[in-house]
Amino acid sequence: ISILAIESSCDETSASIIVNGKVLNNIVATQSVHEKYGGVVPELASRAHQENLIPVIQEAILTSGISKDQLSAVAFTRGPGLMGSLLVGVSFAKAFARSLEIPLIDVNHMQAHVLAHFIEDPKPQFPFLCLTVSGGHTQLVLVKDFLDMEVVGETQDDAVGEAFDKTAKLLGLPYPGGPLVDKYAKEGNPKAFQFPITRMPGLNYSFSGIKTAVLYFLRDRLQENPDFISENLADLCASIQYTLIEMLLIKLKEAVKQYGVKEIAIAGGVSANSGLRSTLSDLAKKKGWNLYIPKFEYCTDNAAMIAMAAHYKYLKGEFVGLDVTPLAKMKL
Ligand code: ATP
Ligand code: MG
Ligand code: FE
């Protein structure tokens, strides 16, 4: 079984070839055009996908060592994501599948983030809890099988990645600010400043409050000292990061209690955060959890995870017709 998988849900154009469940490559073109706007501009993202898609796919096929005639199926991200971006990948996938006369497989991007754990060893055992933390989502997922997962808690407003990026913007850091907050936080004191921990009912999250809290906090401090941010950048980053990690882990601990699962995984772009990784590793040791964190390149948006999901769907014969349309708000 050889599958070409395409990811184009947001601002990464990516292609991957998987053969018999083994990912052969993962080609990613990241769009830099959004930096100067401080966030992803959907219209520009679609155009960049249109430019990058063919070269990225060509490279994936070339470096895989297999020819396009050997492909068994074409897979694509159907959603959730930006409609214009998704349309570029879906349209290409349809045309390519049609021309090769092979089946088409639609993949849910959030399901794929979870299945990134099956690209390489060690792989979690079912059932496991996956904390999916990205630029658009924050979900606690109970994973019962490869294609059987349930969202047991999620953010009611902003995603945690968004909270990282938006607070970073308030600190004057360029987009995406998440990795920079991580970098400066390493030299800062996480207890230097206190920001409120928002507690939602059940296993749900809310990350919109911290943005406002940081905004008002900075406004007051900057009035007293215009250099407040530059003089305290590391402490600010460390304190914001600490608060966000606390909020993530409070609910994770509750979910573990509720479901009695000790296999714990994290997925999504924010799982690259070094503070989250180390705090979670310590917690796992203390609690006796088995913790799974994918390689960095499989945490952020990539087609290898789409390929992994497509492989399991192929085994179950789950294909879609050429009339399939993208779903910007596709549910897990
Ligand atoms: P979704 O998957 O929900 O559609 P997305 O595709 O934008 O959203 P990803 O590409 O998985 O999300 O992750 C990007 C997010 O991860 C951004 O918000 C970015 O700031 C954040 N991020 C990446 N690295 C780090 C880091 N080291 N620390 C904190 N945040 C990070
Ligand atoms: Mg992205
Ligand atoms: Fe993503």
Are the C-beta atoms of 282 and 161 separated by less than 8 Å? no
Q: Which residues surround ligand 3, an ion (CB under 5 A)?
A: 134, 301
At residue 16 the predicted structure's pLDDT band, cuts being 50, 70 and 90, is: very high
Q: Residue 181's pLDDT is what?
A: 98
Ligand nearest to the CA of 176: 1
136 Cα nearest atom in ligand 1:
3
Q: Residue 36's pLDDT is what?
A: 85
Q: Residue 38's pLDDT is what?
A: 82
Q: Once rounded to an integer, what is the mean pLDDT over residues 189-210? A: 96
Alpha-carbon span 80 to 326, nearest angstrom = 8
Greater pLDDT, 33 or 63: 63
Q: Does any ligand 1 atom lie closer than 6 A to the CB of residue 190? A: no
By DSSP bridging, strand 104-108 and strand 27-30 are unpaired
Predicted TM-score (pTM) of the model is 0.95
Q: Residue 281's pLDDT is what?
A: 97
The rounded mean pLDDT for the chain is 97
Structure-token pair, residue 14: 């990516």
Are the C-beta atoms of 117 and 292 separated by less than 8 Å? yes
At residue 35 the predicted structure's pLDDT band, cuts being 50, 70 and 90, is: confident
Q: Residue 239's pLDDT is what?
A: 98
Structure-token pair, residue 253: 């601990």
Percent of the chain surpassing pLDDT 70: 100
Angstrom CA distances, 289 to 165, 261, 279, stand at 30, 8, 13
Q: Does any ligand 1 atom lie closer than 6 A to the CB of residue 9? A: yes
Percent of the chain surpassing pLDDT 90: 97
Residue 274 has pLDDT above 90, yes or no: yes
Angstrom CA distances, 113 to 32, 85, 162, 293, stand at 22, 18, 17, 11
77 half-sphere exposure, CB direction, 13 A CA radius: 35
Residue 117 has pLDDT above 90, yes or no: yes
Alpha-carbon span 251 to 256, nearest angstrom = 9
Q: Once rounded to an integer, what is the mean pLDDT over residues 262-290? A: 97
Q: Once rounded to an integer, what is the mean pLDDT over residues 15-26? A: 98
Tell me the β-bridge partners of 3.
18, 73
272 Cα nearest atom in ligand 1:
27
- Most confident range (mean pLDDT) of 29-33, 225-229, 297-301 is 225-229
Residue 170 has pLDDT above 90, yes or no: yes
What contacts 1, CB < 8 A, 6 or more positions away? 18, 19, 20, 21, 72, 73, 311, 314, 315
Residue 37 has pLDDT above 90, yes or no: no
At residue 123 the predicted structure's pLDDT band, cuts being 50, 70 and 90, is: very high
Q: Is the dihedral of CA 125, 114, 176, 220 positive or negative?
A: negative
Residue 136 has phi, psi (to 5 degrees) of -115, -10
Q: Does any ligand 1 atom lie closer than 6 A to the CB of residue 182? A: yes
| 133 annotated ligand-binding residue | yes
Q: Once rounded to an integer, what is the mean pLDDT over residues 209-232? A: 97
State in Å: Cα 195 to ligand 3 middle: 27
Mutate which of 134, 180, 297 for ligand 1 pocket (most atoms within 8 A of beta carbon): 134
